[in-house]
Amino acid sequence: MTHVQALIDAIGLGAVYALIAVGIGLVFGVLRIINFAYGQLIMIAAYMLVFTQGWGDVIAILIAVAAAVFASLVMDRAVFRPLRNTSPATVLVATFAVSYLLQNLALLRYTYQNRPVGDSVGVLGGLNQAADIGSLHIRWITFVAIGTGAVALGTIALLLNRTSIGLQMRAAAADFHTARMVGVRANTVIMAAVAISGVLAALSAVILTVQSPQVTNTTGLSETIFVLIGVVVGGMTSLVAATLGGFLIGFANSFLGYELATQGSTSQTAVPFTSGVYLPSVIFVLVIIVLLLRPDGLFVRRGRAPVERV
Amino acid sequence: MPEPLLVVEGLDVRYGPVSAVRGLGLEVHRGEIVGLIGPNGAGKTTTLHALMGLQAAQAGEVRLEGRPIRGLHPEAIARLGLGLVPEGRRIYADFTVAENLQLGIVGRGDRPGVEEDLAWIHELFPVVREFRDRPAGALSGGQQQQLAIARALAAGPRVLLLDEPSLGLAPKLVDTLFEALVQIRDRGVGVLLVEQRAQRTVALAARTHVLSNGAVSLTLAPSDAGDTDRLIAAYLA
């Protein structure tokens, strides 16, 4: 039965990572930019949940969504757009710079006020309680994460496949030059993608802060790194592949963590898998193997080169 | 004579120090096909890209229905009524035929008459309706070319630019294509046709400009189509 519990927990984490993967993948699709600063959008949304403590959960979440969307749009306008015609390396380094800038800005909050790093969040805190189903012990937030992930991904799939702006976003992602030539407005499509990615960052922030209610300047950072790896493993050129990759890395992270820990503690071997110490190394070995075998991505049809940038 | 739909005057396009188009001028009137032929590298595609805003032009004037469009974004130019059927078709292979057509409508701006235009397009290219739910990549080359033209027409353009539409088509399909161009012209759309099939283009177009080294070296009338020596001389000039 514990395996079932580990499985459900793993699906829960996979769902959050899938949301982040879509947020990163949508922007990559239209802009060919890997936004390393995506984690700081999550951080900004998380801090909004801190600042709005006591305003009620709904208002707090709405403000977090608005802040993440706003920050995402500002990032596009201030950084991505001026650098749109520069090399991918330049843009990637710029997003690193934005990421560290925002992390260090957040750190100022603690150094100047001389208190321990971190704020606690109480939004939707009740969801951190566990529900007991038979012998299973599963936190409500896990179900909420799975439900939110399914609804958000379903909504985005409908948007992309059933609406005009979705068609335009897909066209821009597949071939931006041709899209503009037939009249698709570049900035409209880019802003739509950037805004939706902001919404997803905020949703991820809400779930992550329920799971671990401590917000610091590195909130969202490790998740983003893991998801970026997952997105590359899945395949950057397809949003579906990138999303599956994000889900997979979250799933593997949680499931392997559980299974390895269990084995370590019962088998008394000389190699103690009892902590998470060995977990990243196991995952990264798998990542390297996948990338060696399928450099274009696990879920991408072969022989498709990445498309040129805008 | 009414104001032409498309007027190009003194168009200059340079790639760094290299001149690709030099002082090019031409006019396209309503319901008229104008040809643009010339050897590879003469600047035909560059000219179309510059008109469409895909390539920056350093000098010259481009007016669509009297309105200056040089320097505008391609999406703005498309919405004002210039449509390009690019070389290599550039249809979205993973999208359905209907979605490809839908993208053309997106670029329509607020021009009315979508239903009417679509009905006409379906009549002109029945495959577009027949295979509407298939992935566009599953169509044959000739059908893909029809879809590319249909997509451009769905935007309700005043002037249609075509970049070597007959490239890679079987002779019978080339006939179909040229017949479609006549129907498009007869609907009142101005057509600027870049082609490698010089003789057929000269015979079809009201005027055909021969481009060499980025400048118009000669302008031919339909009556020149039989004059093979003159055509060859124009290419060699």
Q: State the CATH number of the domain containing residue B64.
A: 3.40.50.300
Which residue did the predictor score with more confidence, A277 or B184? B184
Q: Does residue A265 register a pLDDT over 60?
A: no
CA distance A145 to A212: 13
Of A164, A171, A177, Cβ closest to residue B92: A171
- Asked if the ipTM is above 0.95, the reply is no
Tens-digit pLDDT profile for residues A204-238: 999 999 988 899 999 999 999 999 999 999 998 88
Q: How many domains does chain B have?
A: 1
Q: Do A180 and B102 touch (CB under 8 A)?
A: no
Closest of A287, A207, A285 to residue A249, by C-alpha: A287
Domain ranges of chain A: 2-128+136-217
Among B45, B52, B54, B92, pick the best mutation site for testing chain A contact (most A Cβ within 10 A): B92
Q: Does residue A260 register a pLDDT over 90?
A: no
The angle, 0 to 180 degrees and rounded to 10, between the axes of the packed helices A38-51 and A186-211 is 60
The count of other CB atoms within 10 Å of the CB of residue A145 is: 30
Q: Does residue A305 register a pLDDT over 80?
A: no
CA atoms within 13 A on the CB side of A47: 22
Tens-digit pLDDT profile for residues B122-132: 999 999 999 99
**Phi, then psi, of A224 in degrees rounded to 5:** -65, -40
Report chain A residues whose CB lies below 8 A from the CB of B103. 167-168, 171, 179, 182, 184
Q: Does residue A255 register a pLDDT over 50?
A: yes
- 8 A C-beta contact, residue B92 and residue B103: yes
CA distance A261 to A278: 10
Does a structural domain hold residue B143?
Answer: no
Q: Do B92 and A186 touch (CB under 8 A)?
A: no
Does a structural domain hold residue B179?
Answer: yes
Residue ranges of the alpha helices (H) in B7-80?
A: 44-52, 74-80
pLDDT of residue A277: 60
pLDDT of residue A205: 96
Of A170, A182, A186, Cβ closest to residue B107: A182
A180 CB within 8 Å of a chain B CB: yes
A186 CB within 8 Å of a chain B CB: yes
- 8 A C-beta contact, residue B162 and residue B174: no
Does a structural domain hold residue B196?
Answer: yes
Tens-digit pLDDT profile for residues A164-184: 999 999 999 999 999 999 999
Q: Do A183 and B75 touch (CB under 8 A)?
A: yes
DSSP B95: S
CA distance A237 to A222: 23
- 8 A C-beta contact, residue A40 and residue A99: yes
Tens-digit pLDDT profile for residues B52-74: 999 999 999 999 999 999 999 99
CA distance B215 to B196: 17
Average the pLDDT over B8-36 and give the result. 95
Tokens of B73: 């974004």
Measured over the CA atoms of residue A73, residue A79, residue A82 and residue A88, the dihedral's sign is negative
Find tokens 């009620």 and name the residue: A56
Average the pLDDT over A280-298 and give the result. 85
CA distance A169 to A176: 9
Q: What percent of chain A has pLDDT over 70?
A: 89
A168 CB within 8 Å of a chain B CB: yes
- 8 A C-beta contact, residue B144 and residue B91: yes
All residues at 6 or more sequence positions from B121 whose CB lies less than 8 Å from its CB, including other chains: B101, B128, B150, B153, B154
Q: Do B54 and A182 touch (CB under 8 A)?
A: no
Instruction: Provide the domain limits for residue B182.
Output: 6-91+158-236
Tens-digit pLDDT profile for residues A105-149: 998 888 665 567 778 887 887 787 887 877 778 888 999 999 999
Does a structural domain hold residue B220?
Answer: yes
Integer angstrom CA distances of residue B190 from B4, B41, B217? 9, 25, 22
- 8 A C-beta contact, residue B149 and residue B85: yes
CA distance B32 to B193: 10
